Amino acid sequence: MNDRKGQNILAIEHQNGKYSQKKIDVLCRNLEAYGEIVQTKCLILFENLQAFLTCLSDLNQLKFIQKMGVDCCEISGYLKKK
């Protein structure tokens, strides 16, 4: 999938006991609802429906996203549709 506006997201999903990596384009949809668009590289780690979102270049942005309550079900649900 193509990156949009420099937004390069790496998803690491736990499937059948193994981790697979793929680049995705989230089109900013999940985070726009919380008033913030992440345009930096992020790492999304999925394991047992628990997500850990780490912004690799801006920890303050990460803290903002966490405070806004971005939940793993919304994000993982969107990823599975792709």
Q: Is-contact 64 79, C-beta < 8 A?
A: no
How far from chain centre, in Å, is Cα 20?
15
Average of pLDDT values for 14-34?
A: 40
Of 1-5, 47-51, 54-58, 75-79, least confident by mean pLDDT is 47-51
Instruction: Kindly state the tokens that stand for 14.
Output: 């736990």
Q: Is 42 exposed, middle or buried (0-12, 13-18, 19+ CB in 10 A)?
A: buried
Domain positions in the chain are 9-81
Cα–Cα distance, 52 to 45 (Å, whole number): 5
Q: Give the tens place of pLDDT for each residue, 26-70.
A: 333 444 444 444 433 333 433 322 333 433 334 444 444 444 444
Res. 15 pLDDT band, cuts 50 70 90: very low
